[in-house]
Amino acid sequence: MSEAMTAGLDAEQLADFVARVLAEDLGTGGDVTSAATIPPGATLTATLAMREDGVVAGLGLAAAFFVAMDAGAVIEMLARDGDRVLAGANLMRIAGNARAMLAAERSALNSLQHLTGIATMTRAYLDAIAGTGCILLDTRKTNPGLRAPEKYATKMGGAQNHRMRLDDGILIKDNHIAVAGGDIAGTVRSALAGGSGLQVQVEVDRLDQIEPALAAGAQRLLCDNMGPTALRAAVALVAGRVPIEASGGVRMETIRALAETGVTYISLGRITQSAPAADIGMDYG
């Protein structure tokens, strides 16, 4: 039986993440403002609400911060991760000790806003290639320490996860080939000879690299920074022998033209590196 996950984190990882984030915000003195202005036994009921249209991700993670500060907090989910919601939609209702809820507010909102922003941008890119049959992938271009939650958010937006870690698959890039002597075929054969059983993917940035890579046994190609014309030529040359991934310099205004070339995948670091935080607020009462 698989362990329950919250925003891509198992129970131990979730507890560690929540503790570290709260410690960062609370410091050694805690929420001195709430302590100075709110009676210890006061309670608070509040709603987390969207201020703009978006795709939700990270509700369970946000709830974990409130529960960490008040184990008796009552959480009511009003939406689900992956939901596409409109501005004004209520996402979650919380009730608990007022000091605790306010101390957790910023950590909960920061996490929810960030992951929802990623899911929202991911869905926008996915919508841009709708009907092409092309699959949108994320990348390892994530914020340090946030890979699992960020990749979870891209899934909520509709993308598929690419490699989570360096041990998930063999991806031979230009630097590997250069250090190995510049022979793309020899580098592929060396990777296959290692017997890892992992898929061997090779990055190419020129059409003349494709046949040597395939002849040596490459099982997937990553066409780096190729425009639509070059990608169409690559698709024709490969002729369905292996999947083709397009990557590099992908923008909202270019992604559909790339998808229409017939590539299997488009990978995009922008959805985790550059997604703006969603506008989500916590309203009292």
Q: Which residues are the active-site residues?
A: 106, 141, 173, 203, 224
Whole-number Å distance between alpha carbons of 255 and 131: 13
Phi then psi for residue 276, to 5 deg, are -75, 150
Whole-number Å distance between alpha carbons of 143 and 141: 7
Whole-number Å distance between alpha carbons of 260 and 269: 20
Q: Which class for 131: exposed (0-12), middle (13-18), buried (19 or more C-beta within 10 A)? A: exposed
Whole-number Å distance between alpha carbons of 190 and 214: 14
Q: Are 171 and 203 in contact (CB under 8 A)?
A: yes
Closest among 50, 63, 148, 55 to 107, alpha carbons compared: 63
> What does DSSP assign to residue 160?
B
